[in-house]
Amino acid sequence: MKAIIGLGNPEVKYKITRHNTGFLIMDKILEAYQVSLVDKFNSFFAKKGDLLFLLPKTYMNLSGLAVAELAKFYKLSNKDILVIYDDATIEFGTFRLKKNGSFGGHNGIKSIIKCLGTDVFDRLKVGVGPVPNNIAIDSFVLSNFTNDELKGIETMGDCAIQLIDCWLKEGIEVAQNRFNKKIV
């Protein structure tokens, strides 16, 4: 089994914020896989064959609680997890697929590392930056995307579907070589 996890905040007021990039990208993925979400694991959850989809309802800072619950229930290896989330230090429209690493200042990833007890899990960092000099990073990631940026998110969602297919069939190294680049 493999799990695709998108990070975000569940309230409507956060729907089109930069910090909800994981949820926004997952919307396209869920549409492509034609799955409907149910309430399970303190998340929005879907299963199709051996593929699990999770959008934690725990809010960003406690995402690890839901991820750990899913991993324990399905006895997932950390290498079977792909987490999709925003990264304000990367230029908007850029993908960075990684096998592991520190939390890099992202509280959702910090929570997952803490709850899983390891930083070894695959992650797709989606660039939403750069942060303007006159704005605090917290304010920036909680601000809404512009209409043009939302169109870019649609394109990145389409590309993420291809990335996941590659990740599933050919592994992370091939997916990194193919998709670690500016998408829009």
Active site residue 19: yes
Q: Cα(9)–Cα(98) distance, rounded to whole angstroms?
A: 23
Q: Dump the DSSP string for 92-127.
A: TTBEEEEEE---TT-HHHHHHHHHHT-SEEEEEEEE
Catalytic-labelled residue, pool 18, 19, 28, 110:
19
Phi and psi at 93, nearest 5°, equal: 90, 5
Q: Are 2 and 50 in contact (CB under 8 A)?
A: yes
The residues assigned a catalytic role are: 19
